[in-house]
Structure 1
Amino acid sequence: MSDPRAEPLHLIGPGDYEWSVLPEHYAVCVACGELPPCRHEEAERQADEIAARNDVVMDIPPGHCLACGMFITARQQATRFPGPNLWRPDLPENSAVFHARRECEGPRDRYQQQWDERGGMNPQSSLFTDRERGE
Protein backbone atom coordinates (compact mmCIF):
# COMPACT_ATOMS: atom_id res chain seq x y z
CA MET A 1 0.00 0.00 0.00
CA SER A 2 1.16 3.44 -0.78
CA ASP A 3 1.08 6.29 1.66
CA PRO A 4 -1.88 8.55 0.76
CA ARG A 5 -0.08 11.55 2.25
CA ALA A 6 3.07 11.07 0.19
CA GLU A 7 3.79 13.40 -2.69
CA PRO A 8 3.22 11.90 -6.14
CA LEU A 9 6.24 10.59 -8.04
CA HIS A 10 6.54 11.92 -11.59
CA LEU A 11 8.83 10.05 -13.96
CA ILE A 12 9.86 10.99 -17.47
CA GLY A 13 10.70 8.34 -20.06
CA PRO A 14 10.26 7.40 -23.71
CA GLY A 15 6.66 7.19 -24.89
CA ASP A 16 6.97 3.58 -26.05
CA TYR A 17 8.62 2.31 -22.84
CA GLU A 18 6.57 -0.17 -20.82
CA TRP A 19 7.04 0.23 -17.10
CA SER A 20 6.90 -2.87 -14.93
CA VAL A 21 4.87 -2.13 -11.84
CA LEU A 22 5.96 -4.29 -8.96
CA PRO A 23 3.66 -5.37 -6.15
CA GLU A 24 4.38 -4.34 -2.61
CA HIS A 25 6.14 -7.68 -1.96
CA TYR A 26 8.35 -9.05 -4.73
CA ALA A 27 11.24 -11.47 -5.03
CA VAL A 28 14.86 -10.51 -5.62
CA CYS A 29 18.00 -12.62 -5.99
CA VAL A 30 19.87 -13.08 -2.72
CA ALA A 31 23.24 -13.03 -4.51
CA CYS A 32 22.86 -9.93 -6.71
CA GLY A 33 19.64 -8.18 -5.70
CA GLU A 34 18.23 -8.30 -9.25
CA LEU A 35 14.69 -9.19 -10.17
CA PRO A 36 14.26 -12.74 -11.45
CA PRO A 37 15.38 -14.04 -13.82
CA CYS A 38 18.71 -12.56 -12.76
CA ARG A 39 22.07 -13.13 -14.43
CA HIS A 40 22.91 -15.94 -11.98
CA GLU A 41 19.72 -17.80 -12.89
CA GLU A 42 20.42 -17.29 -16.62
CA ALA A 43 24.00 -18.52 -16.18
CA GLU A 44 22.78 -21.67 -14.42
CA ARG A 45 20.23 -22.30 -17.19
CA GLN A 46 22.92 -21.93 -19.87
CA ALA A 47 25.27 -24.24 -17.95
CA ASP A 48 22.52 -26.87 -17.74
CA GLU A 49 21.91 -26.62 -21.49
CA ILE A 50 25.64 -26.99 -22.25
CA ALA A 51 25.93 -29.98 -19.91
CA ALA A 52 22.93 -31.67 -21.57
CA ARG A 53 24.39 -31.05 -25.05
CA ASN A 54 27.78 -32.41 -23.92
CA ASP A 55 26.12 -35.56 -22.59
CA VAL A 56 24.58 -36.16 -26.02
CA VAL A 57 27.88 -35.51 -27.85
CA MET A 58 29.81 -37.82 -25.51
CA ASP A 59 27.48 -40.70 -26.48
CA ILE A 60 28.32 -40.39 -30.21
CA PRO A 61 30.70 -43.19 -31.30
CA PRO A 62 33.66 -42.65 -33.67
CA GLY A 63 32.74 -42.47 -37.36
CA HIS A 64 29.38 -40.89 -36.61
CA CYS A 65 28.34 -37.31 -37.36
CA LEU A 66 28.92 -35.06 -34.34
CA ALA A 67 25.75 -33.13 -35.22
CA CYS A 68 23.10 -35.83 -35.67
CA GLY A 69 24.92 -38.90 -34.29
CA MET A 70 24.22 -41.04 -37.38
CA PHE A 71 26.90 -43.18 -39.02
CA ILE A 72 28.59 -41.62 -42.06
CA THR A 73 28.91 -44.08 -44.93
CA ALA A 74 31.59 -43.90 -47.63
CA ARG A 75 28.97 -42.74 -50.15
CA GLN A 76 27.81 -39.74 -48.12
CA GLN A 77 29.32 -36.29 -48.45
CA ALA A 78 30.83 -35.09 -45.19
CA THR A 79 33.28 -32.60 -43.73
CA ARG A 80 36.16 -33.98 -41.69
CA PHE A 81 38.33 -31.73 -39.55
CA PRO A 82 41.98 -32.81 -39.29
CA GLY A 83 43.81 -32.89 -35.99
CA PRO A 84 42.41 -33.33 -32.49
CA ASN A 85 38.67 -33.55 -31.94
CA LEU A 86 37.62 -30.38 -30.09
CA TRP A 87 34.30 -31.73 -28.87
CA ARG A 88 35.44 -35.29 -28.11
CA PRO A 89 39.07 -35.16 -26.95
CA ASP A 90 38.79 -38.84 -25.97
CA LEU A 91 38.53 -39.84 -29.67
CA PRO A 92 41.58 -40.19 -31.94
CA GLU A 93 42.84 -37.44 -34.25
CA ASN A 94 40.90 -36.68 -37.46
CA SER A 95 37.68 -38.03 -35.91
CA ALA A 96 35.64 -34.79 -36.03
CA VAL A 97 33.25 -35.39 -38.93
CA PHE A 98 29.90 -33.90 -39.95
CA HIS A 99 27.38 -34.75 -42.66
CA ALA A 100 27.10 -32.25 -45.51
CA ARG A 101 23.34 -32.14 -44.86
CA ARG A 102 21.46 -28.95 -44.13
CA GLU A 103 20.34 -30.41 -40.77
CA CYS A 104 23.97 -30.77 -39.67
CA GLU A 105 25.04 -27.33 -40.91
CA GLY A 106 24.59 -25.37 -37.64
CA PRO A 107 26.76 -27.61 -35.45
CA ARG A 108 29.33 -27.93 -38.27
CA ASP A 109 29.55 -24.12 -38.48
CA ARG A 110 29.95 -23.86 -34.68
CA TYR A 111 32.74 -26.44 -34.82
CA GLN A 112 34.34 -24.58 -37.76
CA GLN A 113 34.30 -21.35 -35.73
CA GLN A 114 35.94 -23.06 -32.74
CA TRP A 115 38.45 -24.68 -35.10
CA ASP A 116 39.31 -21.32 -36.69
CA GLU A 117 39.72 -19.69 -33.27
CA ARG A 118 42.32 -22.33 -32.40
CA GLY A 119 44.21 -21.69 -35.64
CA GLY A 120 43.08 -24.86 -37.39
CA MET A 121 43.84 -25.75 -40.98
CA ASN A 122 41.24 -26.00 -43.73
CA PRO A 123 38.94 -28.98 -43.21
CA GLN A 124 38.61 -31.66 -45.86
CA SER A 125 35.48 -30.79 -47.79
CA SER A 126 34.39 -34.36 -48.44
CA LEU A 127 35.16 -37.97 -47.72
CA PHE A 128 36.10 -40.33 -50.52
CA THR A 129 36.29 -44.09 -50.69
CA ASP A 130 39.69 -45.66 -51.34
CA ARG A 131 38.56 -46.46 -54.89
CA GLU A 132 37.71 -42.79 -55.62
CA ARG A 133 41.12 -41.66 -54.36
CA GLY A 134 42.80 -44.06 -56.78
CA GLU A 135 44.32 -46.21 -54.07
Structure 2
Amino acid sequence: MTDYISTYLSRPRWRHNRLQAMGVQWTYRAPEVGELVIRDATQTHPGTLRRIVSVREDTRDGRTVWVVEHTATDAEPTTGTDRKSVGFWKDVGWPRIAEHYPICGTCRDLMPCQHVVIDTIAEHSGKTFERYGTPGVCPSCQEPVTRRQRVITFERNLYGLGTVTFHLREKCRHAAFEYDREVHRDDGEFELTCPGSARRGLDENGLPVTYCTEPDCRGADRKHHGYGFWTAGYLPHPDGYHRSPEGGGVA
Protein backbone atom coordinates (compact mmCIF):
# COMPACT_ATOMS: atom_id res chain seq x y z
CA MET A 1 0.00 0.00 0.00
CA THR A 2 1.44 3.37 -1.00
CA ASP A 3 2.14 6.09 1.56
CA TYR A 4 -0.59 8.25 -0.02
CA ILE A 5 -3.28 5.59 0.41
CA SER A 6 -2.11 4.69 3.92
CA THR A 7 -2.22 8.33 4.98
CA TYR A 8 -5.66 8.88 3.45
CA LEU A 9 -7.14 5.80 5.10
CA SER A 10 -5.69 6.69 8.50
CA ARG A 11 -6.74 10.35 8.19
CA PRO A 12 -10.04 10.57 6.30
CA ARG A 13 -11.00 14.04 5.08
CA TRP A 14 -14.32 15.80 5.45
CA ARG A 15 -15.73 18.87 3.72
CA HIS A 16 -19.01 20.53 4.65
CA ASN A 17 -19.34 17.72 7.22
CA ARG A 18 -19.29 15.07 4.47
CA LEU A 19 -16.70 12.35 3.94
CA GLN A 20 -14.56 12.94 0.85
CA ALA A 21 -13.84 10.02 -1.46
CA MET A 22 -10.28 9.45 -2.63
CA GLY A 23 -9.71 11.35 -5.86
CA VAL A 24 -12.42 13.96 -5.30
CA GLN A 25 -11.48 17.47 -6.38
CA TRP A 26 -13.56 20.47 -5.37
CA THR A 27 -13.69 22.77 -8.37
CA TYR A 28 -15.21 26.20 -8.94
CA ARG A 29 -15.55 26.00 -12.70
CA ALA A 30 -18.86 25.15 -14.34
CA PRO A 31 -19.73 21.42 -14.51
CA GLU A 32 -19.73 19.82 -17.95
CA VAL A 33 -21.97 17.15 -19.42
CA GLY A 34 -20.36 13.72 -19.13
CA GLU A 35 -18.33 14.45 -16.00
CA LEU A 36 -18.67 12.43 -12.81
CA VAL A 37 -20.00 13.99 -9.63
CA ILE A 38 -20.31 12.63 -6.08
CA ARG A 39 -23.75 12.65 -4.45
CA ASP A 40 -25.24 11.67 -1.07
CA ALA A 41 -22.01 11.64 0.91
CA THR A 42 -22.40 11.52 4.71
CA GLN A 43 -20.04 11.67 7.68
CA THR A 44 -19.22 7.98 7.30
CA HIS A 45 -20.00 7.22 3.64
CA PRO A 46 -18.15 8.81 0.68
CA GLY A 47 -21.29 8.91 -1.48
CA THR A 48 -22.10 7.48 -4.90
CA LEU A 49 -20.98 8.22 -8.43
CA ARG A 50 -23.35 10.03 -10.78
CA ARG A 51 -22.96 11.06 -14.43
CA ILE A 52 -23.84 14.65 -15.38
CA VAL A 53 -26.31 14.77 -18.28
CA SER A 54 -27.26 18.47 -18.33
CA VAL A 55 -26.11 21.77 -16.81
CA ARG A 56 -28.03 25.03 -16.53
CA GLU A 57 -26.79 28.25 -14.92
CA ASP A 58 -29.27 30.21 -12.83
CA THR A 59 -29.35 32.97 -10.19
CA ARG A 60 -30.87 32.55 -6.72
CA ASP A 61 -30.87 35.39 -4.18
CA GLY A 62 -28.17 37.18 -6.18
CA ARG A 63 -25.86 34.14 -6.24
CA THR A 64 -24.93 32.06 -9.26
CA VAL A 65 -26.02 28.44 -9.07
CA TRP A 66 -25.44 25.54 -11.45
CA VAL A 67 -28.49 23.30 -11.77
CA VAL A 68 -27.15 19.87 -12.66
CA GLU A 69 -29.11 16.82 -13.81
CA HIS A 70 -27.40 13.48 -13.23
CA THR A 71 -28.02 9.76 -13.62
CA ALA A 72 -26.46 6.50 -12.48
CA THR A 73 -23.19 5.79 -14.28
CA ASP A 74 -24.67 2.74 -16.04
CA ALA A 75 -27.91 4.47 -17.12
CA GLU A 76 -28.69 5.75 -20.59
CA PRO A 77 -28.51 9.58 -20.45
CA THR A 78 -31.48 10.04 -22.80
CA THR A 79 -34.01 7.68 -21.21
CA GLY A 80 -34.70 9.74 -18.10
CA THR A 81 -34.47 6.67 -15.86
CA ASP A 82 -33.05 7.47 -12.42
CA ARG A 83 -32.57 11.08 -13.49
CA LYS A 84 -32.20 13.56 -10.62
CA SER A 85 -31.17 17.19 -10.23
CA VAL A 86 -29.10 19.17 -7.75
CA GLY A 87 -27.90 22.75 -7.43
CA PHE A 88 -24.30 23.79 -6.74
CA TRP A 89 -23.43 27.34 -5.67
CA LYS A 90 -20.68 28.76 -7.85
CA ASP A 91 -18.85 30.23 -4.84
CA VAL A 92 -18.99 26.90 -2.97
CA GLY A 93 -17.95 24.60 -5.80
CA TRP A 94 -18.83 20.99 -6.52
CA PRO A 95 -17.19 17.56 -5.95
CA ARG A 96 -15.74 16.32 -9.23
CA ILE A 97 -14.03 12.95 -9.57
CA ALA A 98 -11.99 11.60 -12.50
CA GLU A 99 -12.97 8.55 -14.56
CA HIS A 100 -10.38 6.41 -12.76
CA TYR A 101 -11.09 6.07 -9.03
CA PRO A 102 -10.35 3.52 -6.27
CA ILE A 103 -13.09 1.31 -4.84
CA CYS A 104 -13.17 -1.15 -1.95
CA GLY A 105 -12.62 -4.73 -3.06
CA THR A 106 -15.04 -6.01 -0.42
CA CYS A 107 -18.08 -3.70 -0.43
CA ARG A 108 -17.43 -2.06 -3.83
CA ASP A 109 -17.96 1.42 -2.38
CA LEU A 110 -15.73 4.38 -3.11
CA MET A 111 -12.67 4.60 -0.91
CA PRO A 112 -12.41 5.18 1.94
CA CYS A 113 -15.49 2.99 2.40
CA GLN A 114 -17.67 3.43 5.47
CA HIS A 115 -16.26 0.29 7.12
CA VAL A 116 -12.73 1.70 7.00
CA VAL A 117 -13.92 5.09 8.24
CA ILE A 118 -15.94 3.66 11.12
CA ASP A 119 -12.97 1.51 12.17
CA THR A 120 -10.70 4.57 11.98
CA ILE A 121 -13.11 6.68 14.04
CA ALA A 122 -13.44 3.90 16.62
CA GLU A 123 -9.66 3.58 16.88
CA HIS A 124 -9.28 7.35 17.23
CA SER A 125 -12.03 7.46 19.87
CA GLY A 126 -10.28 4.73 21.83
CA LYS A 127 -6.99 6.62 21.79
CA THR A 128 -8.75 9.85 22.76
CA PHE A 129 -10.48 8.11 25.67
CA GLU A 130 -7.13 6.78 26.84
CA ARG A 131 -5.47 10.21 26.61
CA TYR A 132 -8.23 11.98 28.52
CA GLY A 133 -8.94 9.16 30.94
CA THR A 134 -5.47 8.75 32.43
CA PRO A 135 -5.34 10.54 35.83
CA GLY A 136 -2.37 12.82 36.45
CA VAL A 137 -1.34 12.96 32.79
CA CYS A 138 -1.72 15.97 30.49
CA PRO A 139 -3.78 14.87 27.44
CA SER A 140 -1.81 17.21 25.17
CA CYS A 141 1.77 16.07 25.76
CA GLN A 142 0.99 12.77 27.52
CA GLU A 143 3.45 13.63 30.29
CA PRO A 144 2.77 13.51 34.04
CA VAL A 145 1.54 16.62 35.83
CA THR A 146 3.63 17.66 38.84
CA ARG A 147 3.01 20.13 41.66
CA ARG A 148 5.77 22.45 40.45
CA GLN A 149 4.15 23.03 37.07
CA ARG A 150 1.46 25.58 36.23
CA VAL A 151 -1.65 23.66 35.26
CA ILE A 152 -5.38 24.01 34.88
CA THR A 153 -7.91 21.35 35.84
CA PHE A 154 -11.34 21.05 34.25
CA GLU A 155 -13.98 19.26 36.27
CA ARG A 156 -15.87 18.12 33.19
CA ASN A 157 -14.34 15.47 30.94
CA LEU A 158 -15.73 15.45 27.39
CA TYR A 159 -13.88 12.33 26.23
CA GLY A 160 -13.22 10.17 29.28
CA LEU A 161 -13.76 9.78 33.01
CA GLY A 162 -12.63 11.98 35.88
CA THR A 163 -11.13 15.46 35.70
CA VAL A 164 -8.87 16.79 32.92
CA THR A 165 -5.59 18.58 33.74
CA PHE A 166 -3.48 20.44 31.16
CA HIS A 167 -0.03 21.92 31.55
CA LEU A 168 -0.02 25.67 30.90
CA ARG A 169 3.40 25.63 29.28
CA GLU A 170 3.87 26.72 25.70
CA LYS A 171 3.49 23.37 23.93
CA CYS A 172 0.30 22.42 25.83
CA ARG A 173 -1.33 25.83 25.99
CA HIS A 174 -3.09 25.74 22.63
CA ALA A 175 -4.73 22.39 23.43
CA ALA A 176 -5.85 23.78 26.80
CA PHE A 177 -7.36 26.82 25.06
CA GLU A 178 -9.25 24.63 22.60
CA TYR A 179 -10.55 22.39 25.38
CA ASP A 180 -11.70 25.45 27.33
CA ARG A 181 -13.69 26.58 24.30
CA GLU A 182 -15.31 23.17 23.85
CA VAL A 183 -16.10 22.35 27.46
CA HIS A 184 -17.67 25.77 28.12
CA ARG A 185 -19.34 26.24 24.74
CA ASP A 186 -22.82 25.93 26.26
CA ASP A 187 -22.44 27.54 29.69
CA GLY A 188 -20.06 30.36 28.66
CA GLU A 189 -17.97 29.98 31.83
CA PHE A 190 -14.64 30.13 30.01
CA GLU A 191 -11.61 29.78 32.26
CA LEU A 192 -8.75 30.50 29.85
CA THR A 193 -10.33 32.31 26.94
CA CYS A 194 -12.78 35.10 26.13
CA PRO A 195 -15.63 34.67 23.62
CA GLY A 196 -15.27 38.20 22.28
CA SER A 197 -13.21 39.78 19.50
CA ALA A 198 -10.24 41.91 20.53
CA ARG A 199 -8.39 44.93 19.18
CA ARG A 200 -5.03 45.84 20.64
CA GLY A 201 -2.86 48.93 20.38
CA LEU A 202 -1.75 51.94 22.44
CA ASP A 203 -4.00 54.34 24.35
CA GLU A 204 -3.69 58.14 24.52
CA ASN A 205 -0.89 57.77 27.07
CA GLY A 206 1.11 55.37 24.92
CA LEU A 207 0.29 52.38 27.12
CA PRO A 208 -0.85 48.99 25.80
CA VAL A 209 -4.63 48.72 25.62
CA THR A 210 -7.10 46.02 24.59
CA TYR A 211 -10.71 46.59 23.56
CA CYS A 212 -13.15 43.68 23.44
CA THR A 213 -16.70 43.18 22.18
CA GLU A 214 -17.58 41.51 25.49
CA PRO A 215 -18.69 43.96 28.22
CA ASP A 216 -17.31 41.58 30.85
CA CYS A 217 -14.12 40.62 29.00
CA ARG A 218 -12.17 37.98 30.91
CA GLY A 219 -8.93 39.93 30.57
CA ALA A 220 -6.62 41.64 28.09
CA ASP A 221 -4.21 38.70 28.10
CA ARG A 222 -6.87 36.10 27.40
CA LYS A 223 -7.00 34.32 24.07
CA HIS A 224 -10.08 35.70 22.30
CA HIS A 225 -12.34 33.53 20.16
CA GLY A 226 -13.25 36.14 17.57
CA TYR A 227 -11.39 38.28 15.08
CA GLY A 228 -8.19 39.87 16.39
CA PHE A 229 -6.63 43.18 15.34
CA TRP A 230 -3.33 44.69 16.50
CA THR A 231 -1.57 47.94 15.73
CA ALA A 232 1.76 49.28 16.96
CA GLY A 233 0.35 52.80 17.19
CA TYR A 234 -2.47 54.72 18.81
CA LEU A 235 -5.81 52.90 18.81
CA PRO A 236 -8.94 55.03 19.37
CA HIS A 237 -11.75 53.42 21.35
CA PRO A 238 -13.74 51.50 18.68
CA ASP A 239 -17.54 51.69 18.66
CA GLY A 240 -19.14 48.62 20.22
CA TYR A 241 -15.97 47.67 22.11
CA HIS A 242 -15.16 47.80 25.81
CA ARG A 243 -11.80 48.30 27.46
CA SER A 244 -10.52 44.98 28.76
CA PRO A 245 -9.11 44.68 32.28
CA GLU A 246 -5.38 44.09 32.42
CA GLY A 247 -4.27 40.55 33.15
CA GLY A 248 -6.61 37.62 33.45
CA GLY A 249 -4.83 35.49 30.90
CA VAL A 250 -2.19 32.80 30.91
CA ALA A 251 1.37 34.01 31.17
TM-score (norm 2): 0.32
Q: 2:166 — aligned with what?
A: 98
Percent identity of paired positions between Structure 1 and Structure 2: 21
Offset at 1:42? 1.7
Offset at 1:22? 5.8
Gaps of 5+ in 2: 1-32, 37-95, 194-251
- Which residue, 73, 78, 86 being the options, matches 2:158? 86
- Which residue, 111, 117, 120 being the options, matches 2:179? 111
After superposition, residues 46-61 of structure 1 pair within 5 angstroms as 46-58=121-133, 60-61=134-135
Offset at 1:27? 4.4
Point out the structure with the larger strand share. 2
Q: Could you tell me how far apart the structure 1 residues matched to 2:35 and 2:159 are?
A: 51
TM-score (norm 1): 0.52
Aligned length in residues: 102
Offset at 1:56? 3.6
Offset at 1:111? 1.9
Q: Root-mean-square deviation (CA), in Å?
A: 3.5
Point out the structure with the larger helix share. 1
Contact between 1:98 and 1:108, CA under 8 Å: does it hold in 2? yes
- Which residue, 34, 39, 52 being the options, matches 1:11? 34
Report which structure shows greater RCO (CA 8 Å, sep ≥6). Answer: 1
Q: Determine if the alignment matches structure 1 residue 42 to structure 2 residue 121.
A: no
Contact between 1:78 and 1:100, CA under 8 Å: does it hold in 2? yes
Instruction: Render the CA deviation track for 1:59-94: whole Å, top value 9, x for unaligned.
Output: x223x323223333333222233x3333443x3xxx
Indicate how the Cα distance of structure 1 residues 75 and 119 shifts in structure 2: closer, same or farther if over 3 A, else same. Answer: same
